[in-house]
Amino acid sequence: MTDCYICIDLETTGLEPKKDQIIEIGAVKVEHNTIVDTWESLINPGRKLEERIVALTGICDRQLADAPQITEILPEFLSFAGEDVLLGHSVLFDYSFLKKAAVNEKRSFERKGIDTLKIARKYLKELESRSLGSLCQYYGIAHRAHRALEDAGATVALYRKLAECFYEKEEAEGDKSLFRPKPLIYQVKRDMPITIPQKEQLYKLADKHKLILDYEIDKLTRSEASRKIDRLLAEYGR
């Protein structure tokens, strides 16, 4: 059983790495099955949070106003994570956001991972839900949902419970064992920064139509800016 890993969890502005942003990272470092360190940070996404995200996480714009941007905090996180195996509940989701952030900074982030959700789906089919919250309730694991470090800590406890119950049975699968780290595959291209003409057009549209935008124009990527311009033109015209 893998007993040295980094358990990660993120809170984000949405579910799509290509257009959504990280707002919180939580990570728990485990060595020889013992928690040895933790790391967490709020992250300013450069945009106003939707009400559903505030309701889900309890994180609000005021809390993020003075938080670092992902470009500032990423090197520290990558140093903490090192080359360790990643553990997570639906780990590819969290990995995809982190890899996108790394690629945007011209950094490599290739890792192997273990997914507690996949293990639960295989062995706990009788449960109505295999969300992290539902599994924590099933196993009696204390859990404060939808805050990154709390979720990461709960996932460590869940992994131990799953290993206790199913590791020996799963090891019969050999290299296919879900308890063995597998390469995490997510293809991503680096975002290009917003162009000067795009900035000018967004500022002109905002000024002409007296709009208060809920995002920072200078921090948009080229593709984000294109979507914003198209949306404003469709709604307000030129």
Which residues form the catalytic set?
Answer: 146
Cα distance between residue 209 and residue 236, in whole Å: 7
- Spell out the residues 6+ positions from residue 118 whose beta carbon is closer than 8 angstroms to its own: 178
Cα distance between residue 37 and residue 28, in whole Å: 6
Does residue 191 contact residue 165 with C-beta atoms inside 8 Å?
no
Measuring CA to CA, which residue among 103, 87, 70 is closest to residue 6?
Answer: 87
Does residue 63 contact residue 36 with C-beta atoms inside 8 Å?
no
Cα 228 → chain centroid = 23
Q: Between helices 132-139 and 148-171, what is the axis angle to 10°? A: 70
Cα distance between residue 22 and residue 170, in whole Å: 33
Virtual torsion, Cα 121, 127, 129, 133, nearest 10 deg:
-90
For residue 195, what are the CA distances in angstroms to 20, 226, 231? Answer: 20, 10, 17
Measuring CA to CA, which residue among 15, 190, 161 is closest to residue 93?
Answer: 15
